Amino acid sequence: MLPVVSIVGKSNSGKTTLIEKLIPELKKRNYKIGIVKHSFHGFDIDKKGKDSWRHKNAGADTVMLKSSDTIGLVKDSRDESLDDLMVYFEGMDLVITEGFKRADKPKIEIFRNSVHQQPLWQEGSTDIIAMVTDSGLDIDLPMFGLDQVKELADFIEGRFL
């Protein structure tokens, strides 16, 4: 089974920035990394007026774009779970999700006390296996500072890879 770890935290906690730093560290170790970003709001990755947009706008349920070195997929998705999406990550060593705090996956929470009052785990969030924080929290979990990306990658590598 493909390992999945979710980077979770409240809005503006630094999830994207952490993942942006973590990817190159894991890539240096020759791992293939897939990312799934959870979005509460809809999104449109295709440009209005382009052929693929026109196909989707005409009613296609799935549109795939293929260039010499890239594939893009726009697909209607109403009921797929995070596990259902793993079919798109064949050949990856690890999938990192951003968000999906309610999914039944191991989670690494990023918490910055300069931005929020309390971490998600204090609000009952489950499956948290480590914390990335600027706070001196007293919790029985592995703790990493905001700039300890190499150490966090070591932890992920040891646990999932």
Q: Are 115 and 10 in contact (CB under 8 A)?
A: yes
Higher pLDDT, 129 or 53: 129
**More confident call, 96 vs 71:** 96
- Kindly state whether residue 105 falls inside one of the protein's structural domains: yes
What average pLDDT score do residues 56-74 get?
Answer: 84
**Structural domain boundaries, residue 125:** 4-42+78-160
The predicted structure's pLDDT at residue 91: 94
- pLDDT surpasses 60 at 23: yes
Q: Is residue 15 part of a domain?
A: yes
Angle at which helices 15-28 and 149-160 cross, to 10°: 70
Number of neighbours of residue 126 by Cβ within 10 angstroms: 10
**Average pLDDT value for residue range 66-73:** 83
Domain count across the chain: 1
Which pLDDT score is estimated for 119? 85
Structure tokens at 161: 């890879």
pLDDT at 41: 57
DSSP class of 36 = E
Residue 55 falls within a domain, yes or no?
no
Name residue 63's amino acid. Answer: V
Could you tell me if residue 58 is inside a domain? no
70 inside domain = no
74 or 105: which leads in pLDDT: 105
Beta strands in the chain (DSSP E): 4-8, 33-37, 62-66, 71-75, 94-98, 107-111, 128-133, 143-144
CATH (domain of 22): 3.40.50.300
